[in-house]
Amino acid sequence: MRFILNVIWLVLCGLWMALGYVVAGLICCVLIITIPWGIASFRIASFALWPFGRTTVERRDAGAGSLLGNVIWFVFAGWWLALGHIVTGIALCVTIIGIPLGIANFKLVPISLMPLGREIVPTDRPFATR
């Protein structure tokens, strides 16, 4: 079932949302100081491309640096990407078949707002990093 949902996701919205993260990551990697945000953006792009069967967990070693980085990310790129997930999620929830895809879009909103200090793990091991 995960494979079918991921393929439908990829066709309907995954490719476009992942492309948004890749563009944000490339812009961040152009400037030397914003490379950590670029790496986080590429990590989220892979999650946005194939989200079913994976989830995010907080990293225990994340500290004040990731909090400050998340604030900067939120101001410059996070809210645009989160808005894209919200609009796409609402559009997908219009049909019965699209409801699981819309819920997956809403699941991506928190990580698009605050990507630093989070790790993507398979759903069968959500507590593996703790």
* Mean pLDDT of the 105-125 span: 84
**Average pLDDT of the chain to the nearest whole number:** 85
* Mean pLDDT of the 51-66 span: 80
Task: List the beta bridge partners of residue 120.
Answer: 56
Would you list the DSSP string of 75-117?
IIIIHHHHHHHHHHHHHHTTSTTTHHHHHHHHHTHHHHH--TT
Q: Quick one: pLDDT band at residue 30, thresholds 50, 70, 90?
A: very high
Q: Is 46 exposed, middle or buried (0-12, 13-18, 19+ CB in 10 A)?
A: middle
The tens digit of pLDDT for each residue in 73-103 reads 888 888 888 998 899 999 999 989 889 889 9
Which residue is associated with the tokens 């698009």? 112
Provide the 8-state DSSP code for 50. S
62: left (phi over 0), alpha (psi -120 to 50) or beta: beta
Q: Quick one: pLDDT band at residue 17, thresholds 50, 70, 90?
A: confident
